Structure 1
Amino acid sequence: MLDEPPVNDKLHVEVQSSSSRIGLLHPKETLGYIDINLSDVVNNKRINERYHLIDSKNGRIQIELQWRTK
């Protein structure tokens, strides 16, 4: 439980590749990342957005977050 909403915090999401070859050791490659301001989630109660990944040519990710209080 939080005493106050995390309006000054960010959520860092990093997207990594997964190996499609079972049994082979393949290092996972970082495809890109995003930082989401949690103040947007708290103030709007919910976000459902598509983001362009940073450090990626064409990478995109859709994220849905919801802020609920008791």
Structure 2
Amino acid sequence: MADTSAYAATFEIVDANKDGHISATELKQLMKALGEDITEETATEVVQRMDSNGDGEISLAEFATYMAKG
């Protein structure tokens, strides 16, 4: 498992509602703020790629693991 502390600050920025998970909606909002307007379908596909436990959201551990693959 990747070191979550290296990615915690970035994760917290994306986790807009501060529930400890990143949803497709939060990802879509982030991308729009960055100037990249993606569809809900695309956001959902990205979340599914990172979501190793299948709950439909990205946890900090899943985010760190994905980012560490770089």
Q: Which has the larger radius of gyration?
A: 1
- TM-score of the aligned structures, taking structure 2 as reference length: 0.22
Greater RCO, 1 or 2 (C-alpha within 8 Å, sep 6+): 2
Determine which structure has the larger strand proportion and give its number.
1
